[in-house]
């Protein structure tokens, strides 16, 4: 899976419409070999369409897609390689295992298509199945396996031919939560072990942040932000990104003579960098503490309190407003209590309104 | 698969090409010549003189309204009786543990295998005065059988198993999942059936009833055998009369055929529309046999009811056929001294014509099933993958023969393939029968394949393409094996019908070539009803046992994993 | 699959080879044409291929094939087809040397009778009804609801009889039949079958050779030639002008009219058209024949019949 070319995937100003509906609008993104690109966004944002464009199952209206330095789709030049000539591996949301073939036959299929010898096939299939922990299941039918096992087979099938790029289309969304968390870790190890170049589509930011080296947050057919996970969390580019990643509380703010305050209230805010009169403010959850020790504070009333395995999940209303804050605290709080919340002003993020 | 967007994973161009040229060759060419014949009466002798001269004369024939009205009446009546027989049986079979359910299913397959004209003859010989029934019980039902409702009942008995099989599967799926929910919320067993299960099964019921309608308006044997006696003529018999009674009126029969095609196409359009509205996720789910309720005390009456209907649909015609086959003379009646194996001995004697006809028909039946199955699967795939006008044309062509009477297909085929300028032609070879059968029966496999393609997830093919397989290979390795089980079912149907097809065979059979149906017909024509019935009995046995054996073998090979065969 | 291919290939080869042989399109009875072809090939060494069906189907096939005719010789059960073909100029004029003893009314320049069928009452001897001797007997109360007759539209023989009745002012018999509950039941076989089983006692206007054939098989049925007279249906054999194989076709006609051929005709209970063939059944000379002279057109005859029976 090591590739001489430095770029595993590059996408230049890709656009795509279904009739009058523009699904993708000028997408630019590229991926270094050995890295994982996460495509993250709500349903209908175009992430799956983008993945299908890369796979060749759809063709773009304009733009250029290159895989490992080779143009695979470029309508302007009349290039449109069908999926089978792009040398990919792909894991589908519904697994798409072929029910009439055994697990081993499913996994061997890509090798067969490359006309590898029988012995080589057997060897590599066994290796791939061992890697996903299903070495013993080779002769079973896919229908005899559990959901998690089926998805492992699908992963084995995608990596067995050591493709220069592996595509994951919401591979874990059909699994229940516990299994999903476990599979994310397994996948993450696998990707690292094999030094895979991969595109990983998901609507779950946890998966994207865990697995991807770079995450493209998409919305309405455009990329809102393309960054590494740390950067995304600490520096969301837009309100939408902050909202989608559930980074914390988004408050409308306005400047009122001498300083900033939450719009329509008298809750005062520290000075922001924004020059305009209005702004949207992100108060990140990780910047907030219960208590009054921090550099800035406000008061909030406890509206809901739930016990979680990781602490107490509180829903708070900022006193004097109807803005809600959610945070997990180690301390217990009673419903109806008015408590102090402190935060550090430098962790606030200001967005132009 | 139903999505038709700009896709990089186009279906195989080769398959598209095969489907298009196959349909053109098998369906479009004869259809075109029928239309030409309707317009140009002298096309048979290569002349385009007097266009439309007979077309409008036939359309303004006052008989036409009578024929069309009777056809509609017969179709609706047959649908009524088919529903009456099928719905209770299907509901019982699907929702309760009916004793011997598998055996009833197997027995109810047999009506497909009995040629309708033979079944009608069997009924006549049983119910008419001094018929087998009177000889055994002393009463006859001549008044019932020689009446319009009688024809409807018999055609209903011939066709209701189509509805039974579709509906019991639908009920099975729905019943277990949804009607239980209704019962949790307080609906009684009956209310939950009528309010939940039955409405959910409506699309399937309506679609299968429309199929029965289309089958009954193009059916020839029963109306010909029974209707003629009471002066009840329908379009098909009108068409057939124009072709087989001197003086021959080919343009008239072609024009009437176009009327019939119109009626059947409307029925099929409605059926299409219903099927596209139908929620496949409900219908495609796996039957959950475990949820069936026990019948308790009702087991006996329900079994008797199954037994009664099965006896009417299967037992009685077969017994009548067998009785005639075993009788030395018809006028001898059911007496011990009149019974014997003479007819069977003559039929199966070494080197007899009967054996040759059996062999011919079986070979033709198997080749038709294989070729129609393959072309049907490829056509359905191309339609499902296709886009725009191409898809529409292919789709329309693939269902047209459904509404063409066999005799019209035969004339179209002769007109098309006996042109003097053709350098080579299958005409006057057994291949012409193959062409005719494939044309008549192609809609069956197309229908089955389309339904089963719609149930395949999109990604199964996508996964193959991304894994490096070309479109053709993806079809061969992934799609075809996955739709094969339901293709086998449809191919069995094709085999059964092709090996006993009469109307087209009589006209296009190559010189000196006998098939089962032609042989039977010849025997009747020579007054050897017993020999004809002996052949009919053997043919029914063979066409029933071969598919049953095949299904058993497939089940055994796949260890019960092939869905869709039960 | 291999057997299948083999069977189809053999069939294909057989029928391609067929083009060099005489091709005969024949209306029933199948046994007759089969034996004629067998005897013909044995005698002349020329192969003959047969398409056998009803007269209607034979004509339909000829019509559909008219752009590229396949048949050399046609045998029909209706003399009208010969007249009509001759008018259209489709027939090759030929008078066989063997036709010398065929009466003039059974031959024209282009056609000659292969054999002749007579119209009879087919009566079930075990029906418990008195034996009928004339057409009008069947209008008597003893035969109430017990008579069938073939549809003249489907049966050439019945048509000729109805035509003769119309010409001779005997349609009251038909009316009497209708009033007596007689039913019109399709073609000849469909009309005879209920009589064999006993559902009906008699078929009015049955075809003699079919009834005699059934009797010979042991069925309790008898062919009765009515006293007031009947009609005959000569079965024309003709050579198509389009035949590529006219010499062999002529030889076939010669064979059919030869004593051997005519004996085959007699074997299926048809009357031979040659008067010098002796057979143990009533022959044309023995029958009282009704004339069809002065009958109206086919359409009118059928319309008159339909008026009575609807």
Residue numbers in chain B where pLDDT is lower than 50: 1-6, 279-290, 560-566
Tell whether C66 and C164 lie within a shared domain.
no
B241 in Cβ contact with C154 (< 8 Å):
yes
Tell whether C107 and C39 lie within a shared domain.
yes
Angle at which helices C30-44 and C246-257 cross, to 10° = 110
Residue A291: its pLDDT value, please?
A: 82
Q: Within a 10 A sphere around the Cβ of A228, how many other Cβ atoms? A: 13
**Average pLDDT of the segment spanning A8-15:** 92
Please state, in angstroms and rounded to a whole number, the distance separating the CA atoms of residues B449 and B356. Answer: 33
DSSP type of residue C244: S
Please state, in angstroms and rounded to a whole number, the distance separating the CA atoms of residues B546 and B358. Answer: 13
Q: Domain range for residue C64?
A: 2-116+233-279
Residue A128 makes CB contacts below 8 A (sequence gap 6+) with: A107, A156, A157, A159, A160
Angle at which helices B116-127 and C188-197 cross, to 10° = 40
DSSP type of residue B174: H
Is the Cβ of B196 closer than 8 Å to some Cβ of chain A?
no
Interface test with chain B among A61, A83, A93, A201, by most B beta carbons within 10 Å: A83
Q: How confident is the model at residue A43 (pLDDT cuts 50, 70, 90)?
A: confident
Min Cα distance B397 → chain C (Å) is 23
Which chain C residues touch B511 with a CB distance below 8 Å?
15, 18, 23, 49-51, 70
Please state, in angstroms and rounded to a whole number, the distance separating the CA atoms of residues B491 and B365. Answer: 10
Q: Where in chain B is the domain with CATH 1.10.3720.10?
A: 1-39+354-511, 49-297
The alpha-helical segments, DSSP class H, found in B114-249 are 116-127, 132-137, 142-145, 148-174, 180-184, 189-192, 198-217, 221-222, 235-244
| DSSP states of B270-326 | HHHHHHHHS-HHHHHSPP-GGGPBP-GGGHHHHHHHHHHHHIIIIIHHHHHHHHHHH
Closest CA to B409 of C64, C15, C11: C64
Please state, in angstroms and rounded to a whole number, the distance separating the CA atoms of residues C165 and C173. Answer: 8
Residue of B nearest to A53 (CA): B8
Please state, in angstroms and rounded to a whole number, the distance separating the CA atoms of residues B261 and B444. Answer: 17
Q: Report the CATH number that the domain containing residue C262 is assigned in CATH.
A: 3.40.190.10
Contact B5 A58 (CB under 8 A): yes
B residues 116-175 lying closer than 8 A (beta carbon) to C: 124-125, 128-131, 142
Tell whether C178 and C293 lie within a shared domain.
yes
**Which pair of tokens denotes residue B439?**
């044309």
Interface test with chain B among A59, A71, A100, by most B beta carbons within 10 Å: A100
What's the structural domain count of chain C? 2
Residue C213 makes CB contacts below 8 A (sequence gap 6+) with: B526, B527, C29, C268, C269
Min Cα distance A215 → chain B (Å) is 23
| Residue C2 in this model has a pLDDT that exceeds 90 | no
Is the Cβ of A78 closer than 8 Å to some Cβ of chain B?
no
DSSP reduced 3-state for A32:
strand
- Could you report the per-residue pLDDT of B70-84, keeping only the tens digit for each? 999 999 999 999 999
Contact A98 B7 (CB under 8 A): no
A residues 88-147 lying closer than 8 A (beta carbon) to B: 88-90, 92-94, 96-100, 109-110, 113-114, 141, 143
Residue A31: its pLDDT value, please?
A: 92
Q: At A314, which helix (H) or strand (E)?
A: strand A311-318
Please state, in angstroms and rounded to a whole number, the distance separating the CA atoms of residues A244 and A246. Answer: 5
Residue C38: its pLDDT value, please?
A: 92
Please state, in angstroms and rounded to a whole number, the distance separating the CA atoms of residues B509 and B410. Answer: 9
Min Cα distance A327 → chain B (Å) is 39
Residue C65: its pLDDT value, please?
A: 86
Ramachandran class of A151: left when φ > 0, alpha when ψ lies in -120 to 50, beta otherwise = alpha
C288 in Cβ contact with C229 (< 8 Å):
yes
- Could you report the per-residue pLDDT of A258-308, keeping only the tens digit for each? 778 887 777 777 777 666 778 888 888 888 888 888 788 888 889 988 888
Q: Is the dihedral of CA C101, C103, C108, C111 positive or negative?
A: negative
- Could you report the per-residue pLDDT of B140-189, keeping only the tens digit for each? 888 888 899 999 999 999 889 888 988 887 787 776 666 666 666 766 66
Architecture of domain B1-39+354-511: Orthogonal Bundle (1.10)
The answer on whether C209 is annotated among ligand-binding residues is yes
Contact B467 A18 (CB under 8 A): no
Mean pLDDT check: name the lowest of A76-80, A342-346, B384-388.
B384-388
Measuring CA to CA, how many Å separate A170 from each of A38, A92, A166, C61?
10, 7, 13, 64
- Could you report the per-residue pLDDT of C52-65, keeping only the tens digit for each? 888 888 888 888 88
Tell whether C145 and C190 lie within a shared domain.
yes
Q: Within a 10 A sphere around the Cβ of C62, how many other Cβ atoms? A: 22
Torsion of CA C97, C98, C102, C108, to 10 degrees: -50
Mean pLDDT check: name the lowest of A327-331, C19-23, C105-109, C300-304.
C19-23
Closest CA to B150 of B207, B229, B58, B64: B229
Contact B510 C11 (CB under 8 A): yes
**Beta pairing, strands A7-18 & A62-67:** antiparallel
B18 in Cβ contact with B11 (< 8 Å):
no
Is the Cβ of B457 closer than 8 Å to some Cβ of chain A?
yes
| DSSP states of A74-142 | EGGGTEE--GGGS-EEEE-TT----TTS-HHHHHHHHHHHTT--HHHHHHHHHHHHHHTT-GGGTTS-G
Residue B364: its pLDDT value, please?
A: 93
Mean pLDDT comparison of A336-345, C163-172, C278-287, highest-scoring range: C163-172
Whole-number percent of chain A with pLDDT over 90: 28
DSSP type of residue B96: B
Torsion of CA C127, C128, C131, C136, to 10 degrees: -80
Closest CA to A76 of A13, A31, A24: A13
Please state, in angstroms and rounded to a whole number, the distance separating the CA atoms of residues C175 and C181. Answer: 10
Q: Do chains C and A touch (3 or more CB pairs under 8 A)?
A: no
Torsion of CA B319, B324, B330, B335, to 10 degrees: -60
Residue B230: cis peptide before it, omega within 30 degrees of 0: no
B residues 53-112 lying closer than 8 A (beta carbon) to C: none
DSSP type of residue C91: B
Residue B247: cis peptide before it, omega within 30 degrees of 0: yes
Contact C49 B231 (CB under 8 A): no
Q: Do chains C and B touch (3 or more CB pairs under 8 A)?
A: yes
Residue B9: its pLDDT value, please?
A: 61
Residue C6: its pLDDT value, please?
A: 55
Tell whether C191 and C213 lie within a shared domain.
yes
Residue C146: its pLDDT value, please?
A: 92
Q: Report the alpha-carbon angle C92-C97-C101, nearest 5.
A: 115
Please state the CATH superfamily assignment of the domain spanning residues A7-239 in this structure.
P-loop containing nucleotide triphosphate hydrolases (3.40.50.300)
C residues 237-296 lying closer than 8 A (beta carbon) to B: none
Tell whether C256 and C246 lie within a shared domain.
yes
Tell whether C124 and C200 lie within a shared domain.
yes
Residue B291: its pLDDT value, please?
A: 63
Is the Cβ of B509 closer than 8 Å to some Cβ of chain C?
yes
Residue A15: its pLDDT value, please?
A: 92
Q: How confident is the model at residue C155 (pLDDT cuts 50, 70, 90)?
A: confident
DSSP reduced 3-state for C239:
strand
B5 in Cβ contact with A58 (< 8 Å):
yes
**Average pLDDT of the segment spanning C7-25:** 61
Please state, in angstroms and rounded to a whole number, the distance separating the CA atoms of residues A64 and A81. Answer: 12
Tell whether C227 and C241 lie within a shared domain.
no
Tell whether C211 and C239 lie within a shared domain.
no
The gap between the terminal CA atoms of chain A, to the nearest Å, is 45
Please state, in angstroms and rounded to a whole number, the distance separating the CA atoms of residues A111 and A163. Answer: 11
Which chain B residues touch C199 with a CB distance below 8 Å?
128-131, 142
Please state, in angstroms and rounded to a whole number, the distance separating the CA atoms of residues B420 and A244. Answer: 75
Residue of B nearest to C26 (CA): B511
Closest CA to A348 of A234, A267, A228: A234
Among C186, C218, C310, the residue with its CB nearest the CB of B228 is: C186
Residue A281: its pLDDT value, please?
A: 86
Residue C196: its pLDDT value, please?
A: 87
Tell whether C37 and C168 lie within a shared domain.
no
Closest CA to A245 of A265, A260, A231: A231
Torsion of CA A62, A68, A69, A72, to 10 degrees: -30
Tell whether C52 and C141 lie within a shared domain.
no
Task: Output the average pLDDT for chain C.
Answer: 87
Q: How confident is the model at residue A250 (pLDDT cuts 50, 70, 90)?
A: confident
Closest CA to C207 of C52, C78, C307: C78
Is the Cβ of B506 closer than 8 Å to some Cβ of chain C?
yes
Residue A2: its pLDDT value, please?
A: 43
Q: How confident is the model at residue C93 (pLDDT cuts 50, 70, 90)?
A: very high
Residue C71: its pLDDT value, please?
A: 92
> Structure pTM?
0.82
Q: What is the CATH number of domain B49-297?
A: 1.10.3720.10
Contact C197 B507 (CB under 8 A): no
């Amino acid at each position: 899976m090591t590739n001489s070319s430095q770029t595993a995937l590059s996408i230049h100003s890709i656009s795509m419409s279904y009739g009058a509906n523009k699904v993708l609008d000028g997408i630019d993104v590229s991926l270094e070999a050995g890295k994982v690109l996460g495509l993250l966004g709500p349903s209908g944002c175009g992430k799956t369409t983008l993945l299908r464009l890369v796979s060749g199952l759809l063709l773009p209206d304009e733009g250029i897609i290159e895989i490992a330095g080779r143009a695979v789709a470029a309508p302007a030049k009349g290039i449109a390689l069908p999926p089978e000539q792009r040398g990919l591996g792909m894991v589908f949301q519904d697994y798409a295992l072929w029910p009439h073939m055994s697990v081993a036959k499913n996994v061997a299929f890509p090798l067969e298509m490359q006309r590898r010898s029988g012995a080589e096939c057997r060897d590599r299939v066994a290796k791939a199945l061992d890697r996903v922990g299903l070495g013993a299941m080779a002769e079973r039918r896919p229908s005899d396996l559990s959901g998690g096992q089926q998805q492992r087979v699908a992963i084995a099938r995608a990596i067995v031919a050591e493709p220069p790029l592996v595509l994951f289309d919401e591979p874990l969304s059909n699994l229940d939560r516990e299994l999903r968390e476990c599979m994310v870790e397994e996948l993450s190890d696998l990707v690292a072990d094999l030094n895979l170049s991969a595109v990983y589509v998901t609507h779950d930011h946890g998966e994207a942040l865990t697995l991807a080296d770079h995450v493209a947050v998409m919305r309405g057919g455009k990329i809102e932000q393309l960054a590494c996970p740390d950067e995304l969390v600490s520096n969301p580019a837009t309100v939408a990104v902050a909202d989608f990643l559930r980074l914390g509380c988004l408050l409308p703010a306005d400047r009122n003579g001498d300083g900033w305050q939450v719009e329509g209230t008298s809750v005062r805010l520290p000075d922001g960098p924004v020059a305009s009169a209005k702004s949207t403010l992100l108060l990140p959850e990780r910047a907030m503490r219960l208590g009054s020790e921090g550099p800035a504070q406000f008061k909030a009333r406890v509206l809901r309190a739930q016990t979680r395995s990781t602490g107490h999940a509180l829903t708070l209303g900022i006193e004097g407003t109807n803005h809600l804050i959610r945070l997990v605290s180690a301390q217990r709080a009673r419903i109806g209590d008015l408590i102090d919340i402190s935060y550090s002003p430098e962790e606030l993020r200001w967005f132009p309104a | 698969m139903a999505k038709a967007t700009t896709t990089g994973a186009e279906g195989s161009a080769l398959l598209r090409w095969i489907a298009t040229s196959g349909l053109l060759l098998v369906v479009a060419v004869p259809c075109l010549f029928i239309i030409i014949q309707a317009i140009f009466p002298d096309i048979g002798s290569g002349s385009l003189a007097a266009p439309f001269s007979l077309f409008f004369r036939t359309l303004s024939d006052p008989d036409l309204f009578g024929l069309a009205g009777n056809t509609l009446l017969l179709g609706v009546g047959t649908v009524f009786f088919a529903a009456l027989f099928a719905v209770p049986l299907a509901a019982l079979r699907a929702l309760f543990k009916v004793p011997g359910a598998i055996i009833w299913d197997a027995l109810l397959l047999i009506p497909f295998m009995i040629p309708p004209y033979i079944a009608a003859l069997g009924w006549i010989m049983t119910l008419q005065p001094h018929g087998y029934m009177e000889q055994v019980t002393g009463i006859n039902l001549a008044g019932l059988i020689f009446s319009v409702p009688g024809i409807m009942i018999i055609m209903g008995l011939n066709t209701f198993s189509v509805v039974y099989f579709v509906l019991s599967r639908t009920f099975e799926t729905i019943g277990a999942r949804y009607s239980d929910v209704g019962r949790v919320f307080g609906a009684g067993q009956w209310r939950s059936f009528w309010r939940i299960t039955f409405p959910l099964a409506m699309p399937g019921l309506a679609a299968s009833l429309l199929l029965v309608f289309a089958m009954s308006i193009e059916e020839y044997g029963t109306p010909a055998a029974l209707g003629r006696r009471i002066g009840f003529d329908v379009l098909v018999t009108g068409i057939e009369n124009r072709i087989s009674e001197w003086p021959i009126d080919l343009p008239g029969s072609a024009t009437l055929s176009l009327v019939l095609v119109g009626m059947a196409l409307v029925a099929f359009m409605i059926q299409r529309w219903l099927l596209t509205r139908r929620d496949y996720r409900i219908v495609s789910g796996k039957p959950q046999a475990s949820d069936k309720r026990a019948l308790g005390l009702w087991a006996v009456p329900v079994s008797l009811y199954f037994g009664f209907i099965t006896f009417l649909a299967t037992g009685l015609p077969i017994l009548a056929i067998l009785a005639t086959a075993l009788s030395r003379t018809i006028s001898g009646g059911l007496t011990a001294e009149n019974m014997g194996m003479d007819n069977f001995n003559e039929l199966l004697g070494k080197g007899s014509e009967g054996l040759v006809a059996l062999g011919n028909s079986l070979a033709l039946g198997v080749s038709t099933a294989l070729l129609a199955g393959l072309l049907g699967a490829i056509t359905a795939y191309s339609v499902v993958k296709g886009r725009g006008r191409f898809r529409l044309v292919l789709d329309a062509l693939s269902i047209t023969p459904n509404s063409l009477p066999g005799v019209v297909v035969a004339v179209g085929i002769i007109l098309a393939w006996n042109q003097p300028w053709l350098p080579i032609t299958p005409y006057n070879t057994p291949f012409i029968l193959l062409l005719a059968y494939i044309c008549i029966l192609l809609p069956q496999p197309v229908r089955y394949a389309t339904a089963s393609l719609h149930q395949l997830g999109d990604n199964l093919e996508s996964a193959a393409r991304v894994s490096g397989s070309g479109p053709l290979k993806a079809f061969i390795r992934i799609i075809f094996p996955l739709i094969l089980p339901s293709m086998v079912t449809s191919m069995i149907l094709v085999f059964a019908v092709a090996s006993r097809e009469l109307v087209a065979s009589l006209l296009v059979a190559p010189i000196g070539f006998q098939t089962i149906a032609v042989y039977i017909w010849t025997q009747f024509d020579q007054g050897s009803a017993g020999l004809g019935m002996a052949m009919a009995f053997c043919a029914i046995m063979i066409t029933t046992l071969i598919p049953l054996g095949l299904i058993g073998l497939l089940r055994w090979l796949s260890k019960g994993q092939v869905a869709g065969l039960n | 699959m291999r057997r299948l291919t083999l069977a189809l290939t053999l069939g294909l080869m057989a029928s391609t080879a067929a083009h060099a042989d005489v091709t005969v399109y024949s209306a029933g009875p199948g046994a007759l044409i089969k034996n004629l072809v067998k005897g013909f090939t044995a005698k002349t060494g020329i192969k003959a291929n047969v398409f056998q069906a009803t007269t209607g189907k034979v004509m339909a096939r000829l019509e559909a094939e008219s752009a590229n005719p396949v048949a050399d010789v046609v045998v029909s059960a209706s003399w009208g087809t010969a007249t009509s073909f001759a008018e259209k100029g489709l027939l090759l004029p030929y008078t066989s040397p063997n036709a010398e003893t065929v009466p003039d009314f059974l031959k024209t320049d282009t056609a000659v009778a292969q054999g002749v069928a007579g119209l009879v009452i087919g009566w079930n001897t075990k029906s418990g009804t008195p034996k009928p001797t004339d057409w009008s007997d069947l209008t008597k109360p003893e035969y109430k609801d017990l008579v069938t007759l073939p549809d003249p539209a489907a049966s050439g023989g019945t048509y000729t009889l109805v035509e003769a009745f119309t010409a001779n002012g005997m349609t009251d018999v038909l009316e009497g039949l209708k009033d007596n509950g007689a039913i019109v039941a399709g073609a000849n076989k469909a009309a005879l079958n209920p009589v064999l089983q006993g559902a009906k006692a008699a078929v009015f206007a049955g075809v003699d050779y079919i009834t005699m054939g059934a009797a010979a098989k042991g069925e309790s049925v008898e062919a009765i030639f009515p006293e007031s007279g009947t009609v005959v249906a000569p079965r024309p054999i003709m050579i198509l002008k389009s035949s590529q194989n006219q010499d062999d076709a002529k030889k076939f006609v010669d064979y059919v009219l030869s004593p051997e051929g005519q004996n085959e005709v007699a074997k299926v209970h048809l009357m031979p058209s040659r008067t010098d063939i002796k057979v143990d059944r009533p022959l044309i000379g023995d029958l009282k024949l009704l004339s069809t002279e002065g009958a109206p057109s086919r359409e009118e005859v059928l319309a008159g019949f339909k008026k009575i029976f609807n």
